[in-house]
Structures are given as C-alpha cells and as structure tokens.
Structure 1
Amino acid sequence: MEMKTHDVLVVSAFGRGHWLAAELHQQRMKVLLLDVTAKLGVWPAEDSEGPFGVFRLERYSPSFQARLAHDDQIEEIESGFTIWPPEGVMEFKGPLTRFHWMRQGFPREWLEQLGRGETPSDVRRDADLMSVWPLALAHQLAATRYRPAASALQSRRALPLTANFGLRFATRQGLSKNLQWLADQGVECSDRTEILDLSFRGRGEVSGAELSGARSGLVHFDQMIWTLTGAETAFLSEKLAGHLYPGGFTAPSWCWLRYRLTVQSCPEVQRLPLQVVMVDDLESPWTHQNLMIVQKTPSEERLDVWVRLPAIQRFNRDYLAEYGRRILKTFAKRLPTSNPEIQSLPQEASYTSQELGEPRLPLWEAGSHPERGRRKASNLHFESPENRETHGIDEEFDHQSLLRDRLVRWWQIQQQKLQKQQKKESAP
C-alpha cells in the first residue's frame, strides 16, 4: 500500500476545518484535509449555512477575512441585527438603534459591550429576565447548550449583536469554492476520499489512516484534527466512532430546523430586513414558534423560518406539520397581509434518519459533557460544535486561533529538535 507522511491530517465537514488547515500550511506544515461533507446526509446549502449570519469583527485576521470572501457573497444589513419582540422592532446597528434601545429602558453602554460579545460586568447572572433580555438573547440564540431564557446569562459566550452584520445566501457552488480556495492556498485536499480505519501507537496516539477513493492507501501523520461531533462520527462510520468515542457520544436534545414559506409581496414583507428574529412572548420558552429567525431568500415571495425543536421529533412528519401550522399563525399575526403558506417542511420531513444523518445545528442540554466519551490523546484535537458554546462564526475564529497557536508551538519545538539532531549528525 502507498504510504505518505503528513504533519497534520484535518478531517473537515461543512467547511469547519478549512481555514485552520490553511493557517497550518502557512507555517510550512504538510497538511492533508479530507472533506467528508457529502457523506453526512442530503443537505441543501441553506441548511449547511444556518441562520446565524456573519458578524464582522476587527479581530478577524486577514486570512480569515479572505476565507469568508471566497465563500458566497455576504450581503451587509444596514440596520444590523434586528429583533422584533411584541413591543416593537429593535435594530442593533444604524440611526434608530439608540432610540430603540433607550425606548426599552436599557443602558446605552451595553451597546458597545455587546459589539464585542461581552456581558456588562455589573449585570448579575441571575438578573430578572425582562431587565436584561437582549443580553440573554445574545447568549442563547446561537448557543450549543440549551438553557431557559431566565438562566441564559450563565453561559460564558454571547453573540456580538451590535457589530456589523450580514447574511450569506449559500449555494452549492459556494461550498465547492471554499474547497477550491483551500487548494489555491497549496493545501492537499480531497472531498472524494473515504476513511476506512485509523491506526494508533503508544499512549493511544493516533498515527495513521487507511483511505480509499481519490486518495487511497495508508497515510501517517503526527497530529489529527477531527471536526465532526460524536453523532456525526457514528453516522460516518461506526468503526471510526468506536476509535474516537470509545465511551460513547452524547446525542443532542434540541436542533434548529428550517421551514420555507411563500408570502404575498406586500409593503409589510418588503419592509422586513434580510433577517429578523421574531419573539412572540419574551417570558415563554425561546423554542418552537415563540422564537423564529426569519430570513429573506433571493426570491421575494419566499422566506426561510428557523425554529428550535426537540431533536427527538426531527423525523416525526406529523409533529413538523403541526408546528408548521403554528408558525403560519404566529407569522400572520405579525404580517397579516402577507398570506403566508408552507412551501416545504424541514428536510427531515422528506428523508429518513439513515439518509439525512445528524442535525446540522445541534444543541445539548446545559451541563452535559459530550467530550467525556472521546478518546484522549495528546495529538488528537476535536474541533466541532461540541467544543464551543455557540455556533457563531466569531467563536469559530477564536477557538481555532487558539488551536492553531498550540500546534504552531508544537511545530516550532519539533523543528528545533530536528535542527539540533541534524547539527549533531553533521558534527565531525
């Protein structure tokens, strides 16, 4: 069998490991990225993208900005992130922001802190929900751990809701452009390769992978980055799940699902921003039709509505249809002349679990520890939503920057050892 050696193997899905692979390659590491997205279910590009948009932050590196630029185009929203509670619309960026904010009675200083994804230091974690609900929403909207709204501030991470904000209308071409961008950086990559098995060495470290497809044979490597959750790993391969999650994996309890609506073109719909978060009752659970992320699509007569539903009900078509009716009722209450109808239920209504696999945007119960069942090895790095507190792209950047820095330090130590060895061998 053909044998090749790499410094780092990155197993990526839905673009999760692409930028990190490029960063390591820039440090002159030999990197191989295997994209297994196609093996994780039949997902439209909209579901792969999700509803959380792109918050643009100054701390993003030029290379991260370049990676975003090579995906589908991001359309900036002039009014920024927008919430529509019962009391009226609140824009988080633009000329009306301070007016909306002060009308609700919130301190103006919070706006600047929210732009950095920070929780004001003088706000108690157990504060009354109605006195801090925008902060609670920043913590819970894109969270990977489900908490009731009243305890949302107990998480450590919040979306930077007052930062510049935009939406990316994802396409299949955009997903392929992302892989092409990686190849243009000089990274070896493939999306037509299957991982058959893994091999290990002393102390349980992973040392190689048996491949078939576009790249076949045995590859050896020093470090491996795995960007799939435990449930995704099991769907990809029970054998690999046995290696990487020997203690079993934790299934998500909630997930975000996407309904597509048709609406009548009317002034109410035309005035909507590209995205708005509709909340029917701030003090009721932020799930089901009570909290809907409404996004425009390239078609004026179609909208996507994302809601958070129990993961156990994903493939229950009757359940999905019932909540589709409730979504229409809530939506029509806000926009009565739009005449909304369901064009399509979530993807789960048309496929089986064997065809579709795990949810794209999972949430685990607060206090759960998906990492406990993982294999523990010094050269095995898990980098999936299980590791993070939110699905936000800002945390992806921060988290992967830390992992990059750790691997760069490892690489520098290895190079120093190699230089010393070469110097020793060349000495007379």
Structure 2
Amino acid sequence: MDSQASVVLISAFGRGNWIAAELKTLGLNVHVVDLSDRLGRWAPEDWEGPFGYFQTDELLNTQKSRLDEEDYSEVIDDGFSLWLKSGPFDLRGSHSQYLLEQFGVGKIVQEYIENYSQLEIKKRNELRKKILNLQFHENWFAHFAHALGSPVFTQSLKAIDYGRPLPLFSPYFVRRVSRRGAEKSLEWLKSRQVQVNERSILKDISIVGANVVSVEIESERSGVLRAEQFIWNLSSAETARLGEKFISELFFGEVCKPAWVWMRYRLDLANPDLNETLPMKFVLLEDLALPWTHANMLMVQKTASHDSYDVWVRIPEVHRFQKSYMVEIGEQILERFKTRILGLQPRIVDYPQDYTYGELALGPPRFGQYDPEQKDRIRRRRLMNIHYGGPELWETLDWNGQFQDQMQIFANIKSWKVELDRKIEKMQIAKEREKEREKEREKERENND
C-alpha cells in the first residue's frame, strides 16, 4: 500500500480520534496510524486515566460524541467531591455553597475556577493577583484546581503559576471504558470515512528539507503513507519507544521523562453499604499542608464491579518499577481508608501494572508530570507541516485539556486548507482565463485566414 493523504495522524490510546473525524468534515483525506499496542500492556482504565471528564460549555457536540460513542458514561450527580480530614464537600450538591464557605473557598476563588475560560485575560489576571494575596488557607483550592490535572509538578503554593485550572464546578462524568469500547471508537472513525490503520508498527519517517514527506507503516495495509500535513500525538518518551530514528529526527535524540507518575491500585472495600454513601468518584486528601502526593492525596473511583474501587496515587517516577515501594504505598492507602471509615477492612485486589510488568513490556507512563524546567527544555524539530500534540503540550492531562490542544491544531490545519483552496481556485480561474484567451486567439486566426 502506497497512499497519498491530506493528513496523517500518528496516535495512540484514542488521542487523535476526535480531531481525525473533525478534519474529515473539511473534505480532507485523513489517515490515523494507531500505535496503542506498541506503547505498552495497559488496561483500558490506565488508558483513560484518573480524571474523568467535565462537560464544560466549551466542549463541542462532536467532542461529546467522541467521548460517548465507545462506552457509556455516568454522571456524578453532586459533581466533583473532595474529602478532607475535616470532612467532605461537593461542588454541585444542594449544600455546596454552604460547604465551600465552611472550607474556606471564597467567592474570588470560585469565580476564577468556574469562569476561567470565559474570562478576558485582563480580568483573569486581576483575579489571580487577588488570589495570590490571600493566605494559603483561603486560596488553597485555586492551587489545587491547577495542580490536580497539570502536566507540571510543583509546590502546592506555586501551582497556580502553571497551566489552567480543571473546571471543577462543571458537570462531572465517569467513562466506563473497555477494550471493546476502544475498538468501537475506531469503528466510529471508519464510519466517518477516516482511514484507520490498526495495530500499526511505524517503520520509517522521511523528511526532506523542512517538510515531512511520508511515514512507512506495517499493519493490515503495510506501505508508505504520504501526506501534506502530519499530526504527532506522542510524547518524546513514547516516540523513543518507536525507534532511534524517530526520536532523533523529531526530538533531537532527547527523551524527557516525567518526574512524577499516576499509578492505579484496585481495592475491594468489602462493604456493600458504601455503594450508597460514597460518591462514585472523589479525591481523598489527608493534609493540605503536605505535598499532594503519595497516600496524602488519592483519586478514588468506583468501578463497575461490586465493592471495587480504583485508587490513583502520584509517586516519583524513579520508584515506578520498585515492587517493595509499591507494596509500602499500598499499605499506606489501606491505612488511609481504615482511618477514614472505622471498621473497614479493605484489601488490594490488583497492584499497578508497573508492579506486574517491567519497563520493556509497559513503556512510558500513561500520565506523568514534569518538573517545570524539565518541561521547558523539551526540544522539537520545527518542520513546516508537522503539528505536535503530545501530553507534554497539554495544559491539563484530562480530556478537556487534550481537546483544547487539538482545537488549536484543527484551526491551524483549517487555515492551511482555506489557503490551499484559495490557491487552487486562483489557478483554476487562471486556467479558465487562459482557455478564453486561446479561444479568442483561435477566432482571430480564423478571421485572418
């Protein structure tokens, strides 16, 4: 198979599915090269990550369709919930406003988080300045909203300096993901006339001057894919897993590893009554003054199985494959639940994938956080027709952050398409005019004869 496309997306874990379908609406010939199988033995829950998704006003209908077409989603009635040592509160329940006041979340912080995307930059900066002038017990929730989904790890007191806050006040959903659902998502793409290359292996990339010319793939339809535009939805670490040539050509041979990673434990709480009392998803935070890592901050989500909960924890990347360390963290997690729910006897059903498999089998972490200086040092080769869209570039690691990044890429390619169409139209008009002139010259010759 040697094919010519308008746009080729190098993607994994469903990252490129929405933008591929959206680009197709522009009349472009779009190919997706799915490399999920090449990037580690992850479970669907690890593909999805710890964040859920927020149904904000900025979320397009096509993006909502993308999130719902593969597996079903469940709305969390009371919205985002946080369980502090001093008690729990939620953001969309009947008593939310009263509870926010009790936990020191004032109107300025609420306005900043709730209206962040709609605020003009000047107003946003004014609110941010006011928030920074508050004491930590008054502004901690603004820092928390920035820190939770950020690809940057920093001290809690500095979190507001990076990226954007998660839209915690928006309607909150959990997606019930599965392998079958991932397959349905690719089928959804095919139904929109996107060419999908599943279970692909990337063999080569051809760059001439300042342009990517083609990629060579091995899949059900192996061969060379040529295109006018390319989207690269992988991080530098994921790119390195594909082979030396790719990291050398696109990232100058430099791999940037995250400093912190999210890891998923599965617990059995062995208490049916909790199904009615615990929220479907919540953050359990022990001590606001300590770093929001390890067992001090846990993201908890009820699974589709009875009494079963996934617990996400943030740990240093250097400990990722250390079994004894993961066992120790697991014990701390169990102790945290026992302390919060007296009489509970939880047990660990599954340790993180990183406990069972080594780095060769798993590859880079699914959700990592970088030191600020480390993230700024990531170098990407500037080429005229490639658009980088890996996790290192997202403002937040959740679906909303991913879509925000892709909307900018979509806008850039749409502008390219408009300009291309204008040039083609101009050429066609010139050809028509030349034909008319040729007809006139022919008539003159006939008259002269």
The answer to whether the superposition gives a TM-score over 0.5 is yes
Report SS of the residue matched to 2:58: coil
1:363 pairs with 364, 369, 379, which one?
A: 369
- 1:339 deviates by 0.7
Q: Distance in 2 between matches of 1:253 and 1:213?
A: 34
- 2:202 is aligned to 195
Query: What is the aligned length?
Result: 426
CA contact (8 A) 1:34 1:191 kept: yes
Pair 1:301 & 2:300 matched: no
Q: 1:291 aligns with which of 297, 313, 326?
A: 297
- Structure 1 residue 310 corresponds to structure 2 residue 309: no
Q: Which residue of 2 aligns with 1:377?
A: 383
Give the aligned residue type for 1:79: D
Contact in 2 for aligned 1:266/1:338 (Cα 8 Å): no
Please report how far the alpha carbon of residue 54 of structure 1 lies from its aligned counterpart in structure 2 after TM superposition. Answer: 1.0
Which residues of structure 2 form unaligned runs of 5+? Answer: 118-123, 436-449
Provide the residue aligned with 1:172 in structure 2.
179
Of Structure 1 and Structure 2, the greater helix share is in: 2
| 1:36-47 matches, cutoff 5 A | 36-47=35-46
Q: Which moved more, 1:140-149 or 1:106-115?
A: 106-115
Which residues of 2 match residues 387-398 of structure 1 at below 5 A?
387-398=393-404
Give the alignment's TM-score, normalised by structure 1: 0.95
Structure 1 residues not aligned, in runs of 5+ = none
Percent of aligned pairs sharing the same letter: 32
Letter in 2 for 1:17: G
1:125 positional shift: 3.6
The 5 Å alignment of 1:19-418 reads 19-108=18-107, 110-117=109-116, 120-125=127-132, 127-203=134-210, 205-268=211-274, 270-369=276-375, 372-418=378-424
CA shift, 1:107, in A, is 2.2
Q: CA deviation at 1:116?
A: 3.5
Displacement of 1:151: 1.0
Q: Tell me if structure 2 keeps the 8 A contact 1:98–1:108.
A: no
Distance 1:122 1:420 in 2: 51
Name the SS for the 2:98 alignment partner: helix
SS for the counterpart of 1:373 is coil
Once residues 115 and 99 of structure 2 are traced to their aligned partners in structure 1, the CA distance between those partners, rounded to angstroms, is 20
Contact 2:163 2:396 survives alignment (8 Å): no
Q: How much has 1:21 moved relative to structure 2?
A: 0.9
Question: Residue 302 of structure 1: CA displacement?
Answer: 1.2
Structure 1 residues 337 and 117, CA, compared in 2 at 3 Å: closer, same or farther? farther
Conserved in 1, the CA contact under 8 Å of 2:334 and 2:346? Answer: yes
Which shows bigger deviation, 11-20 or 117-126?
117-126
Give the residue type in structure 2 aligned to 1:18: N
Bigger Rg, which one: 2
SS at match of 1:249: coil
Report if the CA contact (8 A) 2:284-2:300 is conserved.
yes
Secondary structure of the 2:426 match is helix
Q: Which amino acid aligns with 1:15?
A: G
| Backbone CA RMSD of aligned residues | 1.7
SS class of match (1:89):
strand
Pair 1:355–1:88, CA change in 2 (3 A): same
In 2, distance between residues paired with 1:378 and 1:127?
45
Query: C-alpha deviations, 1:99-147, integer Å up to 9, x for none?
Result: 1112123324543542334663453446432211111111000110001
Tell me the distance in 1 between the aligned counterparts of 2:218 and 2:102.
61
Whole-angstrom CA distance in 1 between matches of 2:350 and 2:64 = 34
- Asked if the contact 1:126/1:151 (under 8 Å) is kept, the reply is no
Distance across 2 between alignment mates of 1:363 and 1:105: 28
Does the aligned pair in 2 maintain the 1:80–1:94 contact within 8 Å? yes
TM-score (norm 2): 0.91
